[in-house]
Amino acid sequence: MGGLAKGLLVIRAFTRDHSALTLSEVAAIAGMPAATARRCLLTLEELGYVTRRGRAFLLRPKVLELGAAYLESMDIEHLTQTHLEELARLTGDSAALSVLDGNDIVYVARTSVRTLVRLEAHVGSRFPAHVTSMGRVLLAGLAPERLEHYFRTQKFEAFTDHTVTDPKKVRQLIEECRRSGYSAVEDELAYGVVAVAVPVHDQSGRVVAALNSSSHSRRISKARLVRDRLAMLKQASRAISAELARVPGLALSAQA
């Protein structure tokens, strides 16, 4: 069903730098002929997902229902929100839950409090696994073949001068993470971002998600972050794991 595939590409053509797009811009960004993009846009407009202002098209809030379908089907609100809010309150920083999708992490829940500088991320945001605390925790929980596939397919791109891009070093970090049960990362995704993450297991012990607390390195050191917050993260992780028995969707949806 090429039309479905292309329609979804059209939705994803809208980004922060492209909030309003003309037909030919959509076609260029989504990589398809103008006539096809037009058909997609007209269908999406008719269905209420897109609106038109002159020659520009913009997404409409109905699109949020698509993402909400995942959140609801995984019962994310019940699964995590209270725990994330507790973490955010106790730490004064952001707390988040993410899962692995391909070679990236995807934020599925996040709670933050007012801080002047923080990583800009929300539900649905993706980052490469190798540069994030949660990504490393998730990679550490992969089966060996899957992890090998990751190393074969991932391009280890640097985001800062501190990003670890040597595959051998990344492997070591993952192994350390597997042994220690957590991962702490500083300045690798973005300057000033420091975070510590722990795995969330399902009933069979598989790592299905990662939980983290993220701050600014001018506010707290990586060592301090680990010392002060690891225990509460582990406790929250255990609580979420217990919830997974009642709400198995997230574990089932997670990659093998």
Partner DNA sequence: GTCGCTCGTTCGCATATCGAAATAGACTGC
Partner DNA sequence: GCAGTCTATTTCGATATGCGAACGAGCGAC
Footprint on residues 47-66 left by DNA (CB under 7 A): 55
**Of a copy of itself, DNA, none, which one sits near residue 85, judging by CB under 5 to 8 A according to partner kind?**
a copy of itself
Contact region for DNA (CB under 7 A) — 34-42, 132-140, 143-151, 200-208?
A: 34-42
* Count, residues near DNA per rule CB under 7 A: 15
Residue 72 near residue 66, CB atoms below 8 Å: no
Q: How far apart are CA 15 and CA 62, in angstroms?
A: 16
Tell me whether residue 6 or residue 178 sits nearer to a copy of itself (CB atom): 6
**Of a copy of itself, DNA, none, which one sits near residue 35, judging by CB under 5 to 8 A according to partner kind?**
DNA
Least Cβ distance, residue 4 to a copy of itself (angstroms): 4
Tell me whether residue 33 or residue 205 sits nearer to DNA (CB atom): 33
Tell me whether residue 66 or residue 242 sits nearer to DNA (CB atom): 66
Least Cβ distance, residue 249 to a copy of itself (angstroms): 4
Maximum pairwise Cα distance, the chain = 58
Tell me whether residue 39 or residue 162 sits nearer to DNA (CB atom): 39
Written as one letter, the residue type at 220 is: I
Q: With binding defined as CB under 7 A, does residue 34 bind DNA?
A: yes
Q: With binding defined as CB under 7 A, does residue 2 bind DNA?
A: yes
In total, the chain counts a number of residues equal to 256
* Cβ atoms within 10 Å, residue 78: 11
DSSP 18: B
Q: How far apart are CA 194 and CA 190, in angstroms?
A: 9
Tokens at 224, concatenated: 């301090």
Select from 13, 23, 134, 173 the one that contacts DNA (CB under 7 A): 23
Q: How far is CA 40 from CA 32, 113, 157, 189, 205, in A?
A: 10, 39, 34, 35, 43
